[in-house]
Amino acid sequence: MNQSQYENEIRCIIHNDNKCSAHFEWDIKNQSHENFYTLTLNLITYNPKHSIHFLLHSIKYKINKPDVEDSDYVLLDTIKHEINKPKI
């Protein structure tokens, strides 16, 4: 599964649950004083009924330079499982 497919699956989960849309903000920062990057993914939802948006989930991940390409999948998979947990 590629990044777009993961994002689409998460969007569908959110839309089917509460009719909100989901948007993904990616940020990668090189930690110059160390030998790694910090990859951040913010999952923002928008509720058209109330015309509001909010941060549903944010996750940071430290990665080594050679692993940068594959790390977005780790974050997407983590968020997918987090939002797909049964409600208590």
Residues 28-62 pLDDT 10s:
887 777 777 888 899 999 999 999 999 999 998 88
Query: Do 79 and 41 form a contact (C-beta atoms < 8 A)?
Result: yes
Question: In sequence order, what are the residues at sequence separation of 6 or more whose Cβ sits closer than 8 angstroms to the Cβ of residue 46?
Answer: 20, 21, 22, 23, 52, 53
Check residue 83 and give its pLDDT.
Answer: 67
Look at the alpha carbons of 47, 57, 60, 7 in this order and tell me if their dihedral is positive or negative: negative
- What is residue 34's predicted lDDT score, i.e. its pLDDT? 72
- Structural domains in the chain (count): 1
Note whether residue 88 is domain-resident. Answer: no
Task: Report percent pLDDT > 90 for the chain.
Answer: 42
Section 14-28 average pLDDT: 92
In this structure, is residue 27 part of a structural domain?
yes
CA distance 79 to 50: 24
**Residue range of the domain that includes 25:** 3-83
